Structure 1
Amino acid sequence: MLVIVGRIGRAHGIKGEIGMIVRTDEPDLRFADGAKLVTTSKPPRTLTVDSSRWHSGRLLVKFVESPDRTAAELLRNLEVQAEIGEDERPEDPEEFYDRELIGLKVRTTTGDEAGEVIDVVHLPSQDLLEIRRPGGNAVLVPLVEELVPEIDLDAKYVTVADRPGLLDPEGAEVVPSEPGDAGR
């Protein structure tokens, strides 16, 4: 199964290195020398990692297929995927692959059925679970322990600690921005 592990950023220097926007918790494994990655472009391209290194907090990757800056720039903004075995799991038991979460049933901490996970949205600050609610509406829930206290892959469910407005945006509490703003 192919899993997105990064997005190719801008070229670095003249020898074909690129800055990688990492989308994996295992960059040293996924971008190891010799690793084969597949682009999400049409048609997909296979790229072979020639070398990778950390520089000023950023992962720089050199692909065999990008021998110079010009070739590296042509790869910019492409997402790259790694082949991951169906039964492979991240080393950290608190981490999950997107494919493991999509399709899980969602219930609240009180046991009420709350929908199904239909996607995992990756933002720079945090990940979000996209949940299709009964009735078809979708909501986004931050994937943090306070709001998602339990993920049980064996039982195929996610528990969400519902808060006003989290699973039902219409039920959100309105908080005035300044004293005296209520009722305006």
Structure 2
Amino acid sequence: MQDEEVLAEFRASKALLEGHFLLSSGRHSAHYLQCARVLMDPDRASRLAIAVAGRIPRDLRKEINKVVSPAMGGVIIGHEMGRALGVEAMFVERPTGTFELRRGFALNPGDKVLMVEDVVTTGLSSREAIKAIEAAGGEVVAAAALIDRSAGTADLGVPFYPLIAINFPTYAPDELPPELAATPAIKPGSRAEA
């Protein structure tokens, strides 16, 4: 799947938004990718997951025996990645602020895990999820995502395979350009900030 085809999927599902957005990373942007909208169509979600799986080298794909994603944003794409790779998919969540496996999910010592996100901006959530997976006995051999918004700066500590890199500028609260500063920020993501 080419970059323009991926963006067409986002546009078709009205998942590429423009305005002033406060991202879950705490940064601001004039663009927001609502992955939940692009993934709400099961056929589209399956196509996108197959395309992400195709970015992972074949020999590495053969090693993976579990997919783990962070809740909430990574749950759907993680499930579809499990289907695409023919392995079990589970997720970590933050009941007390720190990612952990719950709901009877468990990893066997040495499980080769692919950590899957919807969007990576700074990589913080991904690194936290990887830490939880390792604490549960898994070995994260790679990470994947629909979208890399980090401009290639996210260091996850493992090979990272995004479907597409979209480098819409993001800004710290004290760096906002005048056109963003003039409008209130909308927080469209699923994670509530404390």
* TM, length-normalised to structure 1: 0.23
Structure with the larger helix share: 2
Q: Looking at secondary structure, tell me which structure has more strand per residue.
A: 1
TM-score, structure 2 normalization: 0.22
RCO greater where, 1 or 2, for CA within 8 Å and sep 6 or more? 2
